[in-house]
Amino acid sequence: MKFFVDTADTEEIRELADTGLLDGVTTNPSLIAKSGRDFFEVIKEICDLVEGPVSAEVAATDYETMIEEGKRLAGIAENVAVKVPLTMAGLKTCSQLSKAGTQVNVTLCFSAAQAILAAKAGATYVSPFVGRLDDIGQDGMNLISDIVQIYGNYTSLQTEVLVASIRNPIHIVNSALMGADVCTVPPQVLKQLVSHPLTDKGLAAFLADWEKTGQKILD
């Protein structure tokens, strides 16, 4: 499974990229707004920090403007994945950009039917939002299971399942069990993956025992 981080905070991205665990980045208009910085400047900086895909989202809702925005975003860097909403205009934009060799992330997917259309349109990634489905009393992970199963039925489909709106480490583990290709994760949730009280307890015991020996590995 690949890990993308869902943020526009370049310091967070730099820290996580240094671990070697980061495969890409996703952003959206809300995250860019939170940064308070120039949109193009942020996307370019992120693209320079990571080798993997960086999702940059269009702001238009009509096809004509969306396709022009998509082309401009794709021109920022080779690793930009243009992010479009799962609407008819978004799917049309996805189809045209994909045919031109641009990576496209179709976002705001909330049903398996929508995911089928994204794959038909040639999306590089489809982003089903599990947390937002959980918020309205539905089981977001059921959607991931359905999409993975459907895509697996057709070897010609190359679209990767990018699990989004992740709220906790269990979402990530369950996504991996189901065979999802990518999880895009808020930085704090990604850091939670490493934490376990027994790891902390075991490390403390090892360090205490080592101190008793009076030895050092480095002088």
* CA–CA gap between residue 198 and residue 196 (Å, rounded): 6
* CA–CA gap between residue 183 and residue 172 (Å, rounded): 7
- Name beta bridge partners: 5: 25, 185
User: What are the angstrom distances between the C-alpha of 55 and each of 26, 52, 109, 194?
Assistant: 5, 10, 15, 25
Reference 73, options 107, 46, 44; nearest CA is 44
Return the active site residues: 83
